[in-house]
């Protein structure tokens, strides 16, 4: 598995306007490994919510 942090600056304008400037964008790849047993993968990422950010502002996209 590999994980890269991507810059918001490299996103298309339409996506950047949706996620805003304070987004944490992770690109996750499992490479050639396609065997996940029951088809379930759990991903955990440590994240400290900035002061003043609403819980509703935290969104994950697949």
pLDDT digits (tens, 9 = 90+) for 7-30: 888 888 888 888 887 778 888 887
Query: Given a cut of 80, is residue 41 above it in pLDDT?
Result: no
Average pLDDT, the chain: 81
Q: What are the boundaries of each domain within the chain?
A: 2-50
Query: Given a cut of 70, is residue 62 above it in pLDDT?
Result: no
Is there a contact between 28 and 3 (Cβ–Cβ < 8 Å)?
yes
- Give the H/E segment covering residue 29: strand 25-29
């Amino acid at each position: 598995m590999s994980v890269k942090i991507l810059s918001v600056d490299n996103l298309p304008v339409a996506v950047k306007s949706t996620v805003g400037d304070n987004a944490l964008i992770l690109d996750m790849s499992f490479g050639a490994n396609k065997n996940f047993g029951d088809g379930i993968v759990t991903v955990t990422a440590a994240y400290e919510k900035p002061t003043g950010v609403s819980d509703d502002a935290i969104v994950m996209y697949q």
